[in-house]
Amino acid sequence: MLINVFVPKFHTEEVLEEIRQCLDKGWTGVGFKTVEFEEKWKEYVGIKNAHFLNSNTAGLHLAVRVLKKKFGWKNGDEIITTPLTFVSTNHAILYENLKPVFADVDQYLCLDPKSVESKITKKTKAVMFVGIGGNTGKYLEIVKLCKKHGLKLILDAAHMAGTKINGKHVGSEADVAVFSFQAIKNLPTSDSGMICFADDGLDKKAWKLSWMGISKDTYKRFNNNKGGYKWKYDVEDVGFKYHGNAVAAAIALVQLKYLEEDNSRRREIAALYDKLLEGVKGVEIVRTAPDCVSSRHLYQICVNNRDEIMQYFYDNDIYPGVHYTDNTEYKMYSYAKGSCPNAHKKSEQLITLPIHLRLKDSECKKVVEVLLEGLKKFSK
Ligand SMILES: Cc1ncc(COP(=O)(O)O)c(C=O)c1O
């Protein structure tokens, strides 16, 4: 049996029942279940605004776009960001002709506040923080830093569904938090995401931009407005087709019910890895920040000879992941190559061990066994 890094678990019968409601009603687009899920999500994360989108990538783009427009940022203005992320984070900055300025990461693989502060210039407008693997790192220091320097804070919370900081769900401290419900995330759907603005006005702008810049959505037109003019709307902006749909929201509604339970199991797996790897020479475990209860989207370690060890895993039918390649190694971001030495070093050592809800304890033990063999074989 092969062991994969991620395998999503769906509550199939319950999900099918929710989807059936969409089909029976004849409503699979925006509205109906999307509205219901937004309400449930707001309650769960304790943020007063939420809009369901077709991805986190769309949400990050909207976040940057809405802030740029509201605060009059100019092309070429800067957002400080991390090189250790999926490229969506940084592409979202480029979509709006702003410049990603890379700061280095700390021991948690999140932005290091000291490095961030050293990168602030007159052109800096915002910080984009990624809670990698569900970890908060020194996020609260970044929140303070942004306040001190008058910078906006965008939280790429793609991995953070269920992450708590000092006992409270993460997200409300940022100007905008964007979650991912992509196929292998902690709350998996087919593909979707959520944008949560702190400010009501910006939230309204994001909603409008997610549906082509149109002033009323189809569901509102369908449900309200009993009189005439159901068909009538204005187009107030050049928006995008970024909203989510009722079928994805139907999946999300069920998965949300199990998120706490699912994340507890993920933390159990992480604790088992911690125990099995305790004191193992040649393995550095990426620890969770002390004030964080992580969603445990990832369990990451650093090793030397990473590529050989990965190959050894593959030879044994185990398929771990790597999160991520230092983005400044990519052609698009090579202008910043060498600017973040710690992120670069870590990105050559990182392995994400398999962590998902179908993984048995015996399989975790097998993963560690193979890792130890690999370390022995390839240790320099
Ligand atoms: C850190 C990070 N940001 C953004 C994204 C993009 O999310 P989505 O696939 O929902 O657009 C991902 C997805 O893998 C991610 O890992």
pLDDT of residue 218: 64
Count CA atoms within 13 Å of residue 247 on its CB side.
8
Residue nearest to atom 7 of ligand 1 (CA): 56
- Determine the pLDDT at residue 288: 98
Atom nearest to 60 CA in ligand 1: 4
Residues 318 and 220 in one domain: no
pLDDT of residue 156: 99
125 pLDDT band (50/70/90 cuts)? very high
Check whether residue 181 and residue 272 sit in a common domain.
Answer: no
Give the chain's mean pLDDT. Answer: 96
Q: Which of 290, 291, 299, 263 is nearest to 44 (CA)?
A: 263
Angle at 182 between CA 177 and CA 186, to 5 degrees: 75
* Whether residues 93 and 200 fall in one domain: yes
User: Hey, what are 192's tokens?
Assistant: 């979707």
Last residue of some domain: 232, 254, 276? 254
Closest C-alpha residue for ligand 1 atom 14: 86
Question: Which atom of ligand 1 approaches the CA of 85 most closely?
Answer: 1
* CB 56 near ligand 1, within 6 Å: yes
Same structural domain for residues 216 and 267?
Answer: no
Residues 6+ positions from 147 with CB-CB distance below 8 Å: none
Residue 88 Cβ inside 6 Å of ligand 1? The answer reads yes
81 lines ligand 1 (CB under 6 A): no
Last residue of a domain, one of 217, 234, 254: 254
Same domain, 35 and 177: yes
And the tokens for 188? Answer: 């998996």
Same domain, 191 and 270: no
Question: Are 59 and 141 part of one and the same domain?
Answer: yes
pLDDT tens digits, residue range 256-283?
999 999 999 999 999 999 999 999 999 9
- Ligand 1 centroid, distance to 322 Cα (angstroms): 14
Is 12 in contact with 251 (CB distance < 8 Å)? no
Q: Answer yes or no: do 194 and 286 share one domain.
A: no
Of 180, 194, 195, best ligand 1 pocket probe by most atoms within 8 Å of the beta carbon: 180
Q: Annotate 222-279 with three-state secondary structure.
A: HHCCCCCCCCCCCECCCCCECECCHHHHHHHHHHHHHHHHHHHHHHHHHHHHHHHHCC
pLDDT at 53: 98
* Number of domain units in the chain: 2
CA of 53 to the centre of ligand 1 (A): 13
Using a 6 Å cutoff on CB, does residue 193 contact ligand 1? Answer: yes
**Ligand 1: nearest atom to the Cα of 191:** 10
Q: What is the pLDDT of residue 222?
A: 67
Asked whether residue 233 falls in the same domain as residue 368, the answer is no
Is any atom of ligand 1 closer than 6 Å to the C-beta of 136? no
Nearest CA to ligand 1 atom 8: 56
Q: Which domain holds residue 367?
A: 259-378
86 C-beta closer than 6 A to ligand 1: yes
Question: How many angstroms is it from 179 CA to the middle of ligand 1?
Answer: 8
Percent above pLDDT 90 for the chain: 94
Are residues 176 and 124 part of one domain?
yes
**CB–CB of 18/36 below 8 Å?**
no
Q: Is the pLDDT of residue 336 over 60?
A: yes
Query: pLDDT digit string (tens) for 307-322?
Result: 999 999 999 999 999 9
Q: Please identify, among 199, 224, 254, the residue that sits at the C-terminal boundary of a domain.
A: 254
How far is it, in rounded angstroms, from Cα 219 to Cα 27?
Answer: 9
Indicate if the pLDDT at residue 342 is higher than 90. yes
- Cβ atoms of 294 and 51 within 8 Å: the answer is no
Q: Output the 3-class SS for the chain.
A: CCEECCCCCCCHHHHHHHHHHHHHHCCCCCCCHHHHHHHHHHHHHCCCCCEEECCHHHHHHHHHHHHHHHHCCCCCCEEEECCCCCCHHHHHHHHCCCEEEECCECCCCCECHHHHHHCCCCCEEEEEEECHHHCCCCHHHHHHHHHHHCCEEEEEECCCCCCEECCEECCCCCCEEEEECCCCCCCCCCCCEEEEECCHHHHHHHHHHCECCECCCHHHHHHCCCCCCCCCCCECCCCCECECCHHHHHHHHHHHHHHHHHHHHHHHHHHHHHHHHCCCCCCEECCCCCCEECCCCCCEEECCCHHHHHHHHHHCCEECECCCCCHHHCHHHHHHCCCCHHHHHHHCCEEECCCCCCCCHHHHHHHHHHHHHHHHHHCC
pLDDT 10s digits, 219-247: 666 666 565 667 778 898 999 999 999 99
Residue 158 Cα, ligand 1 centroid: separation in angstroms?
A: 5
Both 271 and 226 in one domain: the answer is no
Domain of residue 68, CATH code: 3.40.640.10
d(CA 362, CA 377): 23
Residue-wise pLDDT tens digits, 165-218: 999 999 999 999 999 999 999 999 999 999 999 999 999 999 999 999 998 766
Q: Does residue 355 have its Cβ closer than 6 Å to ligand 1?
A: no
For ligand 1, atom 16, which residue shows the shortest CA distance?
86
Asked whether the predicted pLDDT for residue 65 surpasses 60, the reply is: yes
Q: Is the CB of 347 under 6 A from ligand 1?
A: no
Residue 27 has pLDDT above 60, yes or no: yes
Q: How far apart are CA 86 and CA 347, in angstroms?
A: 12
88 CA distance to ligand 1 middle (Å): 6
For residue 358, what pLDDT is reported? 97
Residue 216's pLDDT is 74
**Whether residue 210 is found in the same domain as residue 318:** no
Residue 79 CA to ligand 1 center (angstroms) comes to 18
CA atoms of 195 and 152, how far apart (whole Å): 15
Q: 180: Cβ below 6 Å to ligand 1?
A: yes
Centre of ligand 1 from the C-alpha of residue 85, in Å = 8
Strands 193-197 and 51-53: antiparallel
Report pTM. Answer: 0.97
